Amino acid sequence: MENLQLPPKPEKSLFKKTRALIILLLVLALYVWTFVTIDIDWGRAIERSINNFHRVIPKLFSPDWAAAGEVGEAMLETIFIAFAGSLMAAILAVPLAFLAAQNMMGGKVTSTIGKWILSAIRAFPDLILAILFVVAVGPNAFAGVLAIAIGSTGMLGKMFSEIIESIDMEVVQAMEANGANKIQILFYGVIPQITPEFLSYAIYRFEVDIRASSILGIVGAGGIGTMIIFASSNRNWNEMGMILFGIIIVVTVIDFASARIRRKIV
């Protein structure tokens, strides 16, 4: 064991080394720029928090039960918005997903177009869609439904198209060999393979949409968000505590139920 020898140095190409170095420098520069130019008024933040802490935090933990009824109603409206929106999205997403999936409509061109449409829809934050729909249909819950429907179509369409791309194409080929036509293949070869996962994702999306629709109220699109804005501008933190409590309960229950249903489906 005396003549132990050190291993050769790893060979790394100059290209890889410089690339790693450049990326490192870029990231470093990004962070320096961020932290140097960010405009935080520490003095005021600290002063305010000392003044406000006892006015806000303890009250959040003693919810205003008198507001329970109103919160319940607003939460119900939130659920309605999320439900109607997700269901619409689940339906709208199906044709788009078939368009975007590479193994369905044929051509790479249609698939690319479909994918572009979906990713363009996804680039609109829900709230911006809500702003547009509030202008179109007025400040009401239905604007929220439309915002959720369009916003979720982007994400669901993407998920659905990935599911379609992952199906077992041998089944489809076997049916083609049997002389089945396109519609028959769709109903007997494709749909049975994708239905459980489609449902599972749609239900999951409903979970996400409950959260999403609880904020649309800031721009007048209905739901609990309206109450959040009122409570905050009135500095009514007891009521905010009640709202928070309502949201936590509803979201937890729906997450739990949705997880169980999804486990049963798949």
Partner 1 sequence: MIEFKNVGLVYPNGTEGLKNINVKINDGEFVVIVGLSGAGKSTFIRSINRLVTPTSGSLQVDGEDILKYKGKNLRKLRTKVGMIFQNYNLVKRSNVFKNVLAGRLGHTGTLRSIFNLYSKEDKALAYNNLKRVNIDEKIYNRADELSGGQQQRVSIARVLTQKPNYILADEPVASLDPPTSHQVMTYLRKINKEDNITTIVNLHFIDMAMEYADRIIGMRAGEVVFDGPVSEVTEKTFEEIYGRAIREDDLRGGAEE
Partner 2 sequence: MTKNNSLTQKSIPLYPAKTKMQVTIIFLVILGFYLFSMIRTQEDMVGGISGALGNMYVVIEKFFPPNFTILSAIWDSMLETIKMAIIATTIAAIITVPLAVLSAQNITTFKPLYYLTRTFLNLLRTIPDLVLAVIFVGLFGVGVFPGILALTVFSLGILAKLISETIESVDMNPLEAMRASGGNVFQVIWYSLVPQVAPQFTSLVLYVFEINVRASVVLGMVGAGGIGLVLNQQIKFYNYPNAMTIIIVIFVTVLIIEYISNKLREALL
Structure tokens at 207: 């979970």
Amino acid (1-letter code) at residue 226 = T
Q: Please say whether the beta carbons of 164 and 104 come within 8 A.
A: yes
CB of 201 to partner 2, least distance (A): 15
Closest of 109, 100, 97 to residue 195, by C-alpha: 97
CB of 17 to partner 1, least distance (A): 14
**Hunting for tokens 């680039």 — which residue is that?**
123
For 89-107, b/e burial (b = at least 16 CB within 10 A) is: bbebbbebbbbbbbebeee
Interatomic CA distance for residues 239 and 220, integer angstroms? 19
Structure tokens at 178: 């049997």
CB closer to partner 2 out of 2 and 243: 243
CB closer to partner 2 out of 167 and 244: 244
Q: Please say whether the beta carbons of 117 and 232 come within 8 A.
A: no
Contact partner at residue 2 from partner 2, partner 1, none, CB < 5 to 8 Å by partner kind:
none
Residue 9's SS3 state is coil
Contact partner at residue 29 from partner 1, partner 2, none, CB < 5 to 8 Å by partner kind:
none
Contact partner at residue 53 from partner 2, partner 1, none, CB < 5 to 8 Å by partner kind:
partner 2
Contact partner at residue 229 from partner 2, partner 1, none, CB < 5 to 8 Å by partner kind:
partner 2
Interatomic CA distance for residues 84 and 149, integer angstroms? 8
CB closer to partner 1 out of 5 and 37: 5
CB of 16 to partner 1, least distance (A): 13
CB closer to partner 2 out of 99 and 254: 254
Residues present in the chain in total? 266
End-to-end CA distance of the chain: 58
Contact partner at residue 138 from partner 1, partner 2, none, CB < 5 to 8 Å by partner kind:
partner 2
Contact partner at residue 14 from partner 1, partner 2, none, CB < 5 to 8 Å by partner kind:
none
Residues that bind partner 2 in the complex, under the rule CB under 8 A: 30-31, 33-35, 37-42, 44-45, 48-49, 52-53, 56-57, 60, 77, 79-81, 83-84, 87, 119-120, 122-125, 127-128, 131-132, 135-138, 140-142, 144-145, 187, 191, 195, 211, 214-215, 218-219, 222, 225, 228-229, 231-232, 235, 237, 240, 243-244, 247-248, 251-252, 255
Residues that bind partner 1 in the complex, under the rule CB under 8 A: 1, 4-8, 10-11
Interatomic CA distance for residues 56 and 241, integer angstroms? 10
